[in-house]
Amino acid sequence: MPIKAGENGGRTIVHKNIVRELTALGAWNGRAAHYTVPKARAGLESVLILQVGRAGPVIAARRI
């Protein structure tokens, strides 16, 4: 995909693992928990990401 503007303007990049939607499943307190994960749309996959706060570090990730 060609980039038209910004610091990468004029370059072409290949997209992989594009995030199309984020859905918060709930807060985690460190104990065992169960969350319902929405089914991925046809042709797409889901990934579970455990992050500290809204903008903190990602402490775990897994393709599901």
The better pLDDT of the pair 1, 56 is held by 56
- Compute the distance between CA of residue 12 and CA of residue 16 in angstroms, rounded to an integer: 13
* Confidence at residue 28, expressed as pLDDT on a 0 to 100 scale: 86
pTM above 0.75, yes or no: no
User: What would the pLDDT profile of 14-33 be if each residue is shown by its tens digit?
Assistant: 888 888 888 899 888 889 99
- Domain residue spans of the chain: 20-64
CB-based contact 48:58 (threshold 8 Å): no
User: What would the pLDDT profile of 29-51 be if each residue is shown by its tens digit?
Assistant: 889 999 998 899 999 999 999 99
Helices (H) and strands (E) in the chain, counts: 0, 2
